[in-house]
A and B are shown apart, each in its own frame.
Chain A
Amino acid sequence: MSLAAIRPLGRSRWLSLAQRDGLTAWSLALPATLAMLSLIFVPTLLVAVLSITDWQFGARSFDWIGLENFAEIASDENGRKAVINTLIYVGVVMPASVALGLLAALGVQASGVGRGFFRAAMFLPVASTLVAMATVWQMLLHPSLGLVNSLLGTIGLAGPDWLSDRELVLFTLAGIGIWETVGYNMVLFLAGLAAIPEDLYQAAEVDGAGKPWERFWTVTWPLLGPTVLFVVTITAIRSFRVFETVATLTAGGPGYASDVLVYALYREGFEYFRAGYSAALTVVFLVFTVSLTLVKFRLLDRWIFYR
Protein backbone atom coordinates (compact mmCIF):
# COMPACT_ATOMS: atom_id res chain seq x y z
CA MET A 1 0.00 0.00 0.00
CA SER A 2 1.39 3.37 -0.86
CA LEU A 3 1.82 6.14 1.66
CA ALA A 4 -0.83 8.26 -0.02
CA ALA A 5 -3.43 5.61 0.57
CA ILE A 6 -2.74 5.39 4.29
CA ARG A 7 -2.45 9.08 5.02
CA PRO A 8 -5.87 10.67 5.40
CA LEU A 9 -6.65 13.69 3.28
CA GLY A 10 -5.06 16.82 4.67
CA ARG A 11 -8.24 18.44 5.80
CA SER A 12 -9.61 15.35 7.49
CA ARG A 13 -7.02 15.62 10.25
CA TRP A 14 -9.01 18.48 11.67
CA LEU A 15 -12.30 16.59 11.54
CA SER A 16 -13.53 13.75 13.70
CA LEU A 17 -14.63 10.51 12.06
CA ALA A 18 -18.27 11.39 12.62
CA GLN A 19 -17.81 14.78 10.99
CA ARG A 20 -16.11 13.18 8.02
CA ASP A 21 -18.99 10.74 7.63
CA GLY A 22 -21.38 13.66 7.85
CA LEU A 23 -19.54 15.42 5.04
CA THR A 24 -19.60 12.31 2.86
CA ALA A 25 -23.33 11.86 3.49
CA TRP A 26 -24.10 15.46 2.60
CA SER A 27 -21.92 15.31 -0.52
CA LEU A 28 -24.09 12.36 -1.62
CA ALA A 29 -27.32 14.12 -0.76
CA LEU A 30 -26.37 17.60 -1.90
CA PRO A 31 -27.28 17.49 -5.62
CA ALA A 32 -30.76 16.15 -4.87
CA THR A 33 -31.20 18.55 -1.94
CA LEU A 34 -30.32 21.59 -4.03
CA ALA A 35 -32.56 20.41 -6.85
CA MET A 36 -35.47 19.84 -4.44
CA LEU A 37 -35.01 23.26 -2.92
CA SER A 38 -34.73 25.15 -6.19
CA LEU A 39 -37.34 23.20 -8.16
CA ILE A 40 -39.98 22.34 -5.54
CA PHE A 41 -39.79 24.12 -2.21
CA VAL A 42 -38.63 27.62 -3.10
CA PRO A 43 -41.01 27.81 -6.10
CA THR A 44 -43.91 26.63 -3.94
CA LEU A 45 -43.15 29.37 -1.40
CA LEU A 46 -42.88 31.90 -4.22
CA VAL A 47 -46.29 30.80 -5.52
CA ALA A 48 -47.73 31.49 -2.07
CA VAL A 49 -46.11 34.95 -2.07
CA LEU A 50 -47.24 35.72 -5.63
CA SER A 51 -50.79 34.77 -4.72
CA ILE A 52 -51.12 37.91 -2.58
CA THR A 53 -49.90 40.23 -5.35
CA ASP A 54 -51.43 41.52 -8.55
CA TRP A 55 -48.25 40.84 -10.52
CA GLN A 56 -48.50 40.10 -14.22
CA PHE A 57 -45.81 38.32 -16.23
CA GLY A 58 -43.40 40.93 -17.59
CA ALA A 59 -44.72 43.81 -15.44
CA ARG A 60 -42.12 46.02 -13.80
CA SER A 61 -43.97 46.48 -10.55
CA PHE A 62 -46.78 45.00 -8.49
CA ASP A 63 -48.90 45.74 -5.46
CA TRP A 64 -49.54 43.65 -2.40
CA ILE A 65 -53.26 43.04 -2.51
CA GLY A 66 -53.72 40.66 0.39
CA LEU A 67 -56.41 38.09 -0.23
CA GLU A 68 -58.04 39.89 -3.15
CA ASN A 69 -57.12 37.14 -5.63
CA PHE A 70 -58.77 34.58 -3.39
CA ALA A 71 -61.80 36.86 -2.99
CA GLU A 72 -62.00 36.99 -6.79
CA ILE A 73 -61.93 33.19 -7.03
CA ALA A 74 -64.74 33.02 -4.45
CA SER A 75 -66.89 35.84 -5.81
CA ASP A 76 -66.23 36.02 -9.54
CA GLU A 77 -68.54 33.73 -11.48
CA ASN A 78 -65.77 32.24 -13.60
CA GLY A 79 -63.42 31.78 -10.67
CA ARG A 80 -66.11 30.00 -8.71
CA LYS A 81 -66.93 27.85 -11.70
CA ALA A 82 -63.38 26.47 -11.89
CA VAL A 83 -63.63 25.29 -8.28
CA ILE A 84 -67.21 24.02 -8.44
CA ASN A 85 -66.69 22.25 -11.78
CA THR A 86 -63.62 20.50 -10.38
CA LEU A 87 -65.63 19.34 -7.38
CA ILE A 88 -68.48 18.12 -9.61
CA TYR A 89 -66.00 16.33 -11.87
CA VAL A 90 -64.38 14.61 -8.87
CA GLY A 91 -67.82 13.89 -7.43
CA VAL A 92 -68.82 12.02 -10.59
CA VAL A 93 -65.56 10.31 -11.54
CA MET A 94 -64.62 9.15 -8.05
CA PRO A 95 -67.68 7.07 -7.05
CA ALA A 96 -68.29 5.75 -10.58
CA SER A 97 -64.72 4.65 -11.27
CA VAL A 98 -64.30 3.16 -7.78
CA ALA A 99 -67.52 1.13 -8.11
CA LEU A 100 -66.76 0.04 -11.69
CA GLY A 101 -63.12 -0.67 -10.79
CA LEU A 102 -64.27 -2.93 -7.96
CA LEU A 103 -66.77 -4.71 -10.24
CA ALA A 104 -64.09 -5.16 -12.90
CA ALA A 105 -61.66 -6.59 -10.33
CA LEU A 106 -64.27 -9.01 -8.96
CA GLY A 107 -65.17 -10.07 -12.48
CA VAL A 108 -61.57 -10.55 -13.59
CA GLN A 109 -60.77 -12.48 -10.42
CA ALA A 110 -63.77 -14.76 -10.87
CA SER A 111 -63.02 -15.45 -14.53
CA GLY A 112 -60.96 -18.41 -15.65
CA VAL A 113 -60.33 -18.45 -19.38
CA GLY A 114 -59.25 -15.05 -20.68
CA ARG A 115 -58.43 -13.49 -17.32
CA GLY A 116 -55.17 -12.01 -18.62
CA PHE A 117 -56.93 -10.60 -21.67
CA PHE A 118 -59.68 -8.91 -19.66
CA ARG A 119 -57.20 -7.41 -17.23
CA ALA A 120 -54.97 -6.10 -20.02
CA ALA A 121 -57.93 -4.76 -22.01
CA MET A 122 -59.32 -2.80 -19.09
CA PHE A 123 -55.91 -1.48 -18.09
CA LEU A 124 -55.06 -0.31 -21.61
CA PRO A 125 -56.68 3.17 -21.22
CA VAL A 126 -54.32 3.82 -18.29
CA ALA A 127 -51.29 2.93 -20.41
CA SER A 128 -52.33 5.06 -23.37
CA THR A 129 -51.46 8.66 -24.16
CA LEU A 130 -54.49 10.58 -22.93
CA VAL A 131 -54.13 13.52 -25.31
CA ALA A 132 -54.12 11.16 -28.30
CA MET A 133 -57.08 9.23 -26.94
CA ALA A 134 -58.93 12.49 -26.28
CA THR A 135 -58.71 13.34 -29.98
CA VAL A 136 -60.22 9.90 -30.67
CA TRP A 137 -63.05 10.64 -28.22
CA GLN A 138 -63.59 13.86 -30.12
CA MET A 139 -64.21 11.75 -33.25
CA LEU A 140 -66.39 9.25 -31.38
CA LEU A 141 -68.50 12.05 -29.90
CA HIS A 142 -68.79 14.19 -33.03
CA PRO A 143 -72.44 15.35 -33.09
CA SER A 144 -73.23 14.19 -36.64
CA LEU A 145 -70.39 11.92 -37.82
CA GLY A 146 -69.41 10.35 -34.51
CA LEU A 147 -69.85 6.65 -33.84
CA VAL A 148 -71.69 7.24 -30.56
CA ASN A 149 -74.45 9.36 -32.08
CA SER A 150 -74.64 7.10 -35.14
CA LEU A 151 -75.26 4.15 -32.82
CA LEU A 152 -77.86 6.14 -30.89
CA GLY A 153 -79.46 7.00 -34.23
CA THR A 154 -79.91 3.34 -35.13
CA ILE A 155 -82.16 2.92 -32.10
CA GLY A 156 -84.02 6.10 -32.93
CA LEU A 157 -82.41 8.44 -30.42
CA ALA A 158 -81.11 11.87 -31.34
CA GLY A 159 -77.64 12.08 -29.77
CA PRO A 160 -76.74 15.31 -28.03
CA ASP A 161 -73.85 17.63 -28.83
CA TRP A 162 -71.59 16.05 -26.21
CA LEU A 163 -68.82 18.60 -26.08
CA SER A 164 -70.64 21.85 -26.92
CA ASP A 165 -73.69 21.54 -24.72
CA ARG A 166 -73.11 23.65 -21.59
CA GLU A 167 -75.21 21.38 -19.40
CA LEU A 168 -73.56 18.22 -20.64
CA VAL A 169 -69.91 18.97 -21.38
CA LEU A 170 -68.58 18.48 -17.85
CA PHE A 171 -70.28 15.09 -17.60
CA THR A 172 -68.93 14.07 -20.99
CA LEU A 173 -65.43 14.84 -19.73
CA ALA A 174 -66.22 12.93 -16.54
CA GLY A 175 -67.26 9.98 -18.68
CA ILE A 176 -63.88 10.01 -20.41
CA GLY A 177 -62.27 10.35 -16.97
CA ILE A 178 -64.13 7.24 -15.78
CA TRP A 179 -63.07 5.35 -18.92
CA GLU A 180 -59.46 6.26 -18.12
CA THR A 181 -59.57 5.49 -14.38
CA VAL A 182 -61.51 2.21 -14.04
CA GLY A 183 -58.57 0.03 -15.12
CA TYR A 184 -56.27 1.78 -12.69
CA ASN A 185 -58.64 1.17 -9.79
CA MET A 186 -59.20 -2.41 -10.94
CA VAL A 187 -55.47 -3.10 -10.55
CA LEU A 188 -55.44 -1.69 -7.01
CA PHE A 189 -58.51 -3.75 -6.10
CA LEU A 190 -56.99 -6.91 -7.59
CA ALA A 191 -54.03 -6.43 -5.23
CA GLY A 192 -56.45 -6.01 -2.31
CA LEU A 193 -58.47 -9.08 -3.33
CA ALA A 194 -55.36 -11.24 -3.70
CA ALA A 195 -54.52 -10.47 -0.08
CA ILE A 196 -57.75 -12.01 1.28
CA PRO A 197 -56.95 -15.54 2.50
CA GLU A 198 -58.86 -18.27 0.66
CA ASP A 199 -59.67 -20.17 3.89
CA LEU A 200 -61.86 -17.28 5.03
CA TYR A 201 -64.16 -18.02 2.09
CA GLN A 202 -64.19 -21.70 3.02
CA ALA A 203 -65.02 -20.80 6.62
CA ALA A 204 -67.84 -18.54 5.44
CA GLU A 205 -69.19 -21.37 3.31
CA VAL A 206 -69.20 -23.71 6.31
CA ASP A 207 -71.13 -21.04 8.18
CA GLY A 208 -73.76 -21.04 5.47
CA ALA A 209 -72.64 -18.12 3.29
CA GLY A 210 -72.58 -20.15 0.07
CA LYS A 211 -73.96 -17.75 -2.53
CA PRO A 212 -71.48 -15.37 -4.21
CA TRP A 213 -73.48 -12.39 -2.95
CA GLU A 214 -73.34 -13.62 0.67
CA ARG A 215 -69.62 -14.39 0.41
CA PHE A 216 -69.05 -10.85 -0.88
CA TRP A 217 -70.84 -9.18 2.03
CA THR A 218 -69.50 -11.46 4.80
CA VAL A 219 -65.85 -11.77 3.68
CA THR A 220 -64.78 -9.63 0.72
CA TRP A 221 -66.35 -6.30 1.57
CA PRO A 222 -65.28 -6.09 5.26
CA LEU A 223 -61.71 -7.14 4.45
CA LEU A 224 -61.52 -4.87 1.44
CA GLY A 225 -62.59 -1.84 3.50
CA PRO A 226 -59.15 -0.24 3.83
CA THR A 227 -58.43 -0.78 0.12
CA VAL A 228 -61.71 0.88 -0.80
CA LEU A 229 -60.92 3.97 1.29
CA PHE A 230 -57.43 4.08 -0.18
CA VAL A 231 -58.69 3.82 -3.78
CA VAL A 232 -61.31 6.48 -3.07
CA THR A 233 -58.70 9.03 -1.97
CA ILE A 234 -56.30 8.14 -4.79
CA THR A 235 -59.05 8.56 -7.35
CA ALA A 236 -60.05 11.88 -5.82
CA ILE A 237 -56.46 13.14 -6.01
CA ARG A 238 -56.04 11.95 -9.60
CA SER A 239 -59.34 13.48 -10.69
CA PHE A 240 -58.50 16.81 -9.07
CA ARG A 241 -55.68 17.08 -11.59
CA VAL A 242 -57.90 16.78 -14.64
CA PHE A 243 -56.19 18.80 -17.36
CA GLU A 244 -55.33 16.89 -20.55
CA THR A 245 -58.90 16.19 -21.67
CA VAL A 246 -60.03 19.74 -20.90
CA ALA A 247 -57.06 21.28 -22.71
CA THR A 248 -57.54 18.97 -25.71
CA LEU A 249 -61.31 18.96 -26.07
CA THR A 250 -62.92 22.09 -24.65
CA ALA A 251 -60.33 24.62 -23.41
CA GLY A 252 -62.70 25.10 -20.48
CA GLY A 253 -65.60 26.04 -22.73
CA PRO A 254 -68.23 26.59 -23.86
CA GLY A 255 -68.51 29.67 -21.67
CA TYR A 256 -66.39 28.25 -18.84
CA ALA A 257 -68.87 25.35 -18.50
CA SER A 258 -65.98 22.86 -18.33
CA ASP A 259 -63.36 25.08 -16.70
CA VAL A 260 -61.43 23.26 -13.95
CA LEU A 261 -58.73 24.33 -11.49
CA VAL A 262 -55.59 23.13 -13.27
CA TYR A 263 -56.80 24.35 -16.65
CA ALA A 264 -57.79 27.71 -15.12
CA LEU A 265 -54.39 28.20 -13.50
CA TYR A 266 -52.73 27.35 -16.82
CA ARG A 267 -54.92 29.74 -18.80
CA GLU A 268 -54.84 32.65 -16.35
CA GLY A 269 -51.08 32.34 -15.88
CA PHE A 270 -49.73 31.38 -19.26
CA GLU A 271 -52.31 32.71 -21.70
CA TYR A 272 -53.55 35.83 -19.87
CA PHE A 273 -50.27 36.37 -17.97
CA ARG A 274 -52.05 37.05 -14.68
CA ALA A 275 -49.33 35.50 -12.55
CA GLY A 276 -50.77 36.62 -9.20
CA TYR A 277 -54.26 35.30 -9.88
CA SER A 278 -52.89 32.08 -11.36
CA ALA A 279 -50.74 31.65 -8.24
CA ALA A 280 -53.86 32.02 -6.07
CA LEU A 281 -55.61 29.29 -8.10
CA THR A 282 -52.50 27.16 -7.62
CA VAL A 283 -52.69 27.66 -3.85
CA VAL A 284 -56.36 26.60 -3.85
CA PHE A 285 -55.44 23.52 -5.87
CA LEU A 286 -52.54 22.75 -3.53
CA VAL A 287 -54.73 23.03 -0.40
CA PHE A 288 -57.24 20.55 -1.85
CA THR A 289 -54.61 18.02 -2.93
CA VAL A 290 -52.51 18.30 0.24
CA SER A 291 -55.57 17.64 2.42
CA LEU A 292 -56.47 14.60 0.34
CA THR A 293 -52.88 13.34 0.29
CA LEU A 294 -52.61 13.60 4.07
CA VAL A 295 -55.75 11.48 4.36
CA LYS A 296 -54.18 9.03 1.92
CA PHE A 297 -50.91 8.78 3.89
CA ARG A 298 -52.90 7.78 6.96
CA LEU A 299 -54.79 5.16 4.97
CA LEU A 300 -51.62 3.94 3.25
CA ASP A 301 -50.12 2.77 6.54
CA ARG A 302 -53.21 0.71 7.22
CA TRP A 303 -53.41 -0.60 3.67
CA ILE A 304 -49.84 -1.87 3.68
CA PHE A 305 -50.48 -3.36 7.12
CA TYR A 306 -53.40 -5.34 5.73
CA ARG A 307 -51.36 -6.60 2.83
Chain B
Amino acid sequence: MRRGFAGSLALYVALLIGAGIALLPFFWMVSLSLKPADEIFAPGIDLIPNVLAWDNYARAFAEVPLARFLLNGVIVCLGILVFQILFAVPCAYAIAVLRFPGRGVLFGAVLAGLLVPPHVPAIPVYLGLAELRLLDSYTALILPFVASVFGIFLFVQYFRTLPRDLIDAARVDGLSDWAIVWRVVFPTAWPAATAFAIFSIVAHWNDLFWPLIAVSNPDLATPPRGILYFRDQEAGSDIGALMAAATVVTLPMVALFLAAQRSFIQGVAMTGLKG
Protein backbone atom coordinates (compact mmCIF):
# COMPACT_ATOMS: atom_id res chain seq x y z
CA MET B 1 0.00 0.00 0.00
CA ARG B 2 1.54 3.32 -1.07
CA ARG B 3 0.65 6.38 0.86
CA GLY B 4 2.48 9.64 1.25
CA PHE B 5 3.42 11.15 4.59
CA ALA B 6 0.52 13.60 4.37
CA GLY B 7 -1.89 10.76 3.69
CA SER B 8 -0.65 8.78 6.67
CA LEU B 9 -0.89 11.82 8.90
CA ALA B 10 -4.47 12.51 7.79
CA LEU B 11 -5.39 8.87 8.35
CA TYR B 12 -4.01 8.81 11.89
CA VAL B 13 -5.55 12.14 12.79
CA ALA B 14 -8.93 10.86 11.61
CA LEU B 15 -8.52 7.58 13.49
CA LEU B 16 -7.48 9.37 16.67
CA ILE B 17 -10.52 11.65 16.45
CA GLY B 18 -12.80 8.62 15.93
CA ALA B 19 -11.25 6.69 18.80
CA GLY B 20 -11.35 9.83 20.95
CA ILE B 21 -15.09 10.30 20.44
CA ALA B 22 -15.74 6.60 21.08
CA LEU B 23 -13.69 6.67 24.29
CA LEU B 24 -14.68 10.11 25.59
CA PRO B 25 -17.69 8.93 27.66
CA PHE B 26 -15.59 6.15 29.24
CA PHE B 27 -12.83 8.59 30.09
CA TRP B 28 -15.30 11.10 31.50
CA MET B 29 -17.10 8.41 33.52
CA VAL B 30 -13.89 7.27 35.21
CA SER B 31 -12.75 10.87 35.67
CA LEU B 32 -16.02 11.94 37.36
CA SER B 33 -16.03 8.77 39.45
CA LEU B 34 -12.73 9.89 41.00
CA LYS B 35 -13.54 13.58 41.49
CA PRO B 36 -14.66 15.01 44.82
CA ALA B 37 -18.01 16.83 44.70
CA ASP B 38 -16.53 20.35 44.72
CA GLU B 39 -14.47 19.53 41.61
CA ILE B 40 -17.48 18.03 39.81
CA PHE B 41 -19.49 21.20 40.30
CA ALA B 42 -16.60 23.60 39.73
CA PRO B 43 -16.83 25.74 36.59
CA GLY B 44 -14.20 25.18 33.91
CA ILE B 45 -12.90 22.03 32.32
CA ASP B 46 -10.67 19.71 34.31
CA LEU B 47 -10.24 16.43 32.47
CA ILE B 48 -8.28 14.78 35.24
CA PRO B 49 -9.20 15.02 38.93
CA ASN B 50 -6.81 17.08 41.07
CA VAL B 51 -7.59 15.00 44.12
CA LEU B 52 -8.51 11.34 43.72
CA ALA B 53 -11.74 10.70 45.62
CA TRP B 54 -11.77 6.93 45.95
CA ASP B 55 -14.50 7.18 48.55
CA ASN B 56 -16.97 7.73 45.66
CA TYR B 57 -16.64 3.98 45.10
CA ALA B 58 -17.16 3.20 48.78
CA ARG B 59 -20.29 5.37 48.79
CA ALA B 60 -21.61 3.73 45.59
CA PHE B 61 -21.53 0.38 47.38
CA ALA B 62 -23.00 1.88 50.57
CA GLU B 63 -25.83 4.00 49.15
CA VAL B 64 -27.35 1.22 47.04
CA PRO B 65 -26.86 -2.55 47.18
CA LEU B 66 -24.45 -2.37 44.24
CA ALA B 67 -22.78 -5.68 45.10
CA ARG B 68 -26.23 -7.24 45.15
CA PHE B 69 -26.97 -5.82 41.67
CA LEU B 70 -23.78 -7.37 40.34
CA LEU B 71 -24.56 -10.70 41.98
CA ASN B 72 -28.08 -10.56 40.49
CA GLY B 73 -26.55 -9.91 37.08
CA VAL B 74 -24.32 -12.96 37.42
CA ILE B 75 -27.14 -15.20 38.68
CA VAL B 76 -29.54 -14.10 35.93
CA CYS B 77 -27.00 -14.32 33.09
CA LEU B 78 -25.68 -17.72 34.16
CA GLY B 79 -29.17 -19.03 34.89
CA ILE B 80 -30.39 -18.00 31.46
CA LEU B 81 -27.30 -19.38 29.72
CA VAL B 82 -27.42 -22.79 31.45
CA PHE B 83 -31.09 -23.33 30.61
CA GLN B 84 -30.66 -22.06 27.06
CA ILE B 85 -27.93 -24.62 26.46
CA LEU B 86 -29.83 -27.43 28.22
CA PHE B 87 -32.85 -26.77 25.99
CA ALA B 88 -31.16 -25.81 22.73
CA VAL B 89 -28.44 -28.44 22.35
CA PRO B 90 -30.59 -31.62 22.38
CA CYS B 91 -33.18 -29.96 20.15
CA ALA B 92 -30.51 -28.80 17.69
CA TYR B 93 -28.99 -32.29 17.67
CA ALA B 94 -32.38 -33.82 16.82
CA ILE B 95 -32.95 -31.33 13.99
CA ALA B 96 -29.44 -31.55 12.56
CA VAL B 97 -28.73 -35.28 12.91
CA LEU B 98 -31.91 -37.34 13.28
CA ARG B 99 -34.67 -37.93 10.70
CA PHE B 100 -38.14 -37.87 12.18
CA PRO B 101 -41.67 -36.79 11.29
CA GLY B 102 -42.22 -33.11 12.09
CA ARG B 103 -38.56 -32.19 11.75
CA GLY B 104 -39.22 -29.72 8.92
CA VAL B 105 -42.03 -28.05 10.81
CA LEU B 106 -39.88 -27.79 13.92
CA PHE B 107 -36.99 -26.16 12.06
CA GLY B 108 -39.46 -23.86 10.33
CA ALA B 109 -40.72 -22.82 13.77
CA VAL B 110 -37.16 -22.07 14.88
CA LEU B 111 -36.66 -19.83 11.83
CA ALA B 112 -40.01 -18.14 12.44
CA GLY B 113 -38.99 -17.57 16.06
CA LEU B 114 -35.96 -15.62 14.82
CA LEU B 115 -38.41 -13.04 13.47
CA VAL B 116 -39.90 -12.26 16.89
CA PRO B 117 -38.03 -9.62 18.94
CA PRO B 118 -37.91 -10.34 22.68
CA HIS B 119 -40.20 -7.37 23.43
CA VAL B 120 -43.14 -8.91 21.61
CA PRO B 121 -44.23 -11.68 24.02
CA ALA B 122 -43.84 -9.37 27.04
CA ILE B 123 -47.51 -8.77 27.95
CA PRO B 124 -48.72 -12.40 27.91
CA VAL B 125 -45.54 -13.66 29.57
CA TYR B 126 -46.00 -11.04 32.29
CA LEU B 127 -49.60 -12.16 32.76
CA GLY B 128 -48.55 -15.80 32.94
CA LEU B 129 -45.92 -15.05 35.57
CA ALA B 130 -48.44 -12.97 37.54
CA GLU B 131 -50.93 -15.84 37.39
CA LEU B 132 -48.27 -18.21 38.74
CA ARG B 133 -47.30 -15.63 41.41
CA LEU B 134 -43.75 -15.63 40.10
CA LEU B 135 -43.25 -11.91 39.46
CA ASP B 136 -40.50 -10.29 41.52
CA SER B 137 -38.29 -13.37 41.57
CA TYR B 138 -35.22 -14.73 39.84
CA THR B 139 -37.59 -17.07 37.99
CA ALA B 140 -39.31 -14.06 36.43
CA LEU B 141 -35.96 -12.77 35.20
CA ILE B 142 -34.71 -16.11 33.85
CA LEU B 143 -37.69 -18.15 32.68
CA PRO B 144 -38.83 -15.99 29.71
CA PHE B 145 -35.45 -16.46 27.97
CA VAL B 146 -34.83 -20.21 28.39
CA ALA B 147 -35.99 -20.95 24.84
CA SER B 148 -33.37 -19.39 22.60
CA VAL B 149 -34.36 -19.97 18.98
CA PHE B 150 -31.11 -18.29 18.04
CA GLY B 151 -29.18 -20.83 20.13
CA ILE B 152 -31.01 -23.72 18.47
CA PHE B 153 -30.35 -22.22 15.03
CA LEU B 154 -26.67 -21.74 15.78
CA PHE B 155 -26.13 -25.26 17.13
CA VAL B 156 -28.05 -26.78 14.21
CA GLN B 157 -25.68 -25.04 11.80
CA TYR B 158 -22.74 -26.33 13.78
CA PHE B 159 -23.94 -29.92 14.23
CA ARG B 160 -24.60 -30.21 10.49
CA THR B 161 -20.87 -29.93 9.89
CA LEU B 162 -20.05 -32.84 12.22
CA PRO B 163 -18.85 -36.04 10.51
CA ARG B 164 -21.53 -38.70 10.41
CA ASP B 165 -18.95 -41.31 11.48
CA LEU B 166 -18.54 -39.66 14.86
CA ILE B 167 -22.18 -40.31 15.71
CA ASP B 168 -22.33 -43.76 14.11
CA ALA B 169 -19.25 -44.84 16.06
CA ALA B 170 -20.88 -43.69 19.30
CA ARG B 171 -24.02 -45.66 18.40
CA VAL B 172 -21.97 -48.81 17.78
CA ASP B 173 -20.49 -48.30 21.24
CA GLY B 174 -24.04 -48.53 22.55
CA LEU B 175 -24.52 -44.90 23.62
CA SER B 176 -28.07 -43.59 23.69
CA ASP B 177 -28.90 -40.41 21.78
CA TRP B 178 -29.06 -38.45 25.04
CA ALA B 179 -25.57 -39.65 25.93
CA ILE B 180 -24.32 -38.82 22.43
CA VAL B 181 -25.66 -35.28 22.77
CA TRP B 182 -23.85 -34.46 25.99
CA ARG B 183 -20.80 -36.75 25.90
CA VAL B 184 -19.88 -36.79 22.20
CA VAL B 185 -21.44 -33.92 20.28
CA PHE B 186 -21.57 -31.05 22.80
CA PRO B 187 -17.86 -31.25 23.74
CA THR B 188 -16.95 -30.70 20.07
CA ALA B 189 -19.18 -27.64 19.89
CA TRP B 190 -17.03 -25.32 22.05
CA PRO B 191 -16.48 -22.66 19.37
CA ALA B 192 -20.22 -22.33 18.80
CA ALA B 193 -20.94 -22.55 22.52
CA THR B 194 -18.39 -19.85 23.41
CA ALA B 195 -19.71 -17.42 20.82
CA PHE B 196 -23.27 -18.12 21.92
CA ALA B 197 -22.37 -17.71 25.60
CA ILE B 198 -20.83 -14.29 24.98
CA PHE B 199 -23.78 -13.23 22.85
CA SER B 200 -26.24 -14.33 25.55
CA ILE B 201 -24.34 -12.90 28.53
CA VAL B 202 -23.83 -9.50 26.91
CA ALA B 203 -27.48 -9.31 25.86
CA HIS B 204 -28.86 -10.16 29.30
CA TRP B 205 -26.32 -8.29 31.42
CA ASN B 206 -27.23 -5.12 29.51
CA ASP B 207 -30.99 -5.68 29.15
CA LEU B 208 -33.23 -3.10 30.77
CA PHE B 209 -36.62 -3.77 29.15
CA TRP B 210 -37.52 -7.01 30.88
CA PRO B 211 -36.08 -6.31 34.37
CA LEU B 212 -38.05 -3.05 34.33
CA ILE B 213 -41.24 -5.06 33.78
CA ALA B 214 -40.63 -8.23 35.77
CA VAL B 215 -39.24 -6.99 39.10
CA SER B 216 -39.95 -4.02 41.34
CA ASN B 217 -38.00 -5.21 44.37
CA PRO B 218 -34.63 -3.36 44.32
CA ASP B 219 -32.95 -6.43 45.83
CA LEU B 220 -33.64 -8.25 42.57
CA ALA B 221 -32.45 -5.46 40.27
CA THR B 222 -29.97 -6.41 37.56
CA PRO B 223 -27.08 -3.96 37.00
CA PRO B 224 -28.80 -1.60 34.50
CA ARG B 225 -32.02 -1.62 36.54
CA GLY B 226 -29.91 -0.91 39.61
CA ILE B 227 -28.22 2.07 37.95
CA LEU B 228 -31.64 3.61 37.22
CA TYR B 229 -32.78 2.84 40.75
CA PHE B 230 -29.66 4.58 42.08
CA ARG B 231 -30.08 7.65 39.86
CA ASP B 232 -33.79 8.10 40.59
CA GLN B 233 -33.49 8.13 44.33
CA GLU B 234 -32.09 10.88 46.50
CA ALA B 235 -28.56 9.48 46.34
CA GLY B 236 -28.69 10.04 42.57
CA SER B 237 -27.51 13.61 43.03
CA ASP B 238 -24.24 12.17 44.37
CA ILE B 239 -22.72 12.25 40.89
CA GLY B 240 -19.30 10.95 41.87
CA ALA B 241 -20.84 7.85 43.43
CA LEU B 242 -23.29 7.39 40.52
CA MET B 243 -20.40 7.47 38.04
CA ALA B 244 -18.48 5.06 40.26
CA ALA B 245 -21.47 2.70 40.10
CA ALA B 246 -21.66 3.11 36.31
CA THR B 247 -17.96 2.26 36.07
CA VAL B 248 -18.36 -0.83 38.24
CA VAL B 249 -21.36 -2.04 36.20
CA THR B 250 -19.66 -1.51 32.83
CA LEU B 251 -16.35 -3.01 33.91
CA PRO B 252 -17.26 -6.75 33.68
CA MET B 253 -18.35 -6.52 30.01
CA VAL B 254 -15.39 -4.31 29.07
CA ALA B 255 -13.02 -6.75 30.82
CA LEU B 256 -14.66 -9.69 29.04
CA PHE B 257 -14.22 -7.83 25.75
CA LEU B 258 -10.56 -6.99 26.33
CA ALA B 259 -9.77 -10.51 27.55
CA ALA B 260 -11.42 -12.31 24.63
CA GLN B 261 -11.63 -9.78 21.81
CA ARG B 262 -11.97 -12.27 18.98
CA SER B 263 -14.75 -14.41 20.42
CA PHE B 264 -16.37 -11.33 21.88
CA ILE B 265 -16.61 -9.56 18.53
CA GLN B 266 -17.79 -12.80 16.95
CA GLY B 267 -20.45 -13.32 19.62
CA VAL B 268 -21.72 -9.76 19.51
CA ALA B 269 -21.67 -9.59 15.71
CA MET B 270 -24.06 -12.54 15.84
CA THR B 271 -26.83 -10.34 17.16
CA GLY B 272 -26.94 -9.10 13.58
CA LEU B 273 -27.64 -12.55 12.30
CA LYS B 274 -30.31 -12.90 14.90
CA GLY B 275 -31.98 -9.59 14.24
Contacts and interface: CB of A to CB of B under 8 A. Distances in A.
Interface of A: 21-22, 24-29, 31-33, 35-36, 38-44, 46-47, 50, 57, 100, 103-104, 107-108, 110-111, 114, 117-118, 120-133, 135-137, 139-140, 145, 147, 150-151, 154, 179, 182-184, 187-188, 191, 210, 212, 230, 234, 237-238, 241, 243-244, 247-248, 262, 265-266, 269-270, 275, 278-279, 282, 285-286, 289-290, 292-294, 296, 300
Interface of B: 1-3, 7, 11-12, 14-15, 18-19, 21-26, 28-29, 32, 40-41, 44-45, 86-88, 90-91, 93-95, 98-103, 106, 109-110, 112-117, 119-128, 143-147, 149, 152, 176-178, 181, 202, 205-206, 208-209, 212-213, 223-224, 227-228, 231, 239, 242-243, 245-247, 249-250, 253-254, 256-258, 261, 264-265, 268-269, 271-273, 275
Given A131-B224, A147-B28, A40 B22 contact: no
10 contacts: A33-B91, A43-B120, A43-B121, A47-B121, A122-B19, A136-B246, A188-B272, A243-B208, A247-B209, A289-B117
The 7 closest A-B pairs by CB, nearest first: A43-B121, A35-B147, A32-B91, A131-B224, A43-B124, A25-B100, A121-B19
Main secondary structure of the interface of A (DSSP, over half): helix
B22 A151 contact: no
Given A28-B93, A29-B95, A43-B120, A111 B275 contact: no
Main secondary structure of the interface of B (DSSP, over half): helix
A43 B125 contact: yes
A104 B99 CA distance: 46
B239 A279 contact: no
A27 to B, nearest CB: 8
Contacts of A248: 208, 228
A191 B266 CA distance: 10
A102 to B, nearest CB: 12
A24 B22 contact: no
A123 B256 CA distance: 13
B102 to A, nearest CB: 7
A124 B273 CA distance: 20
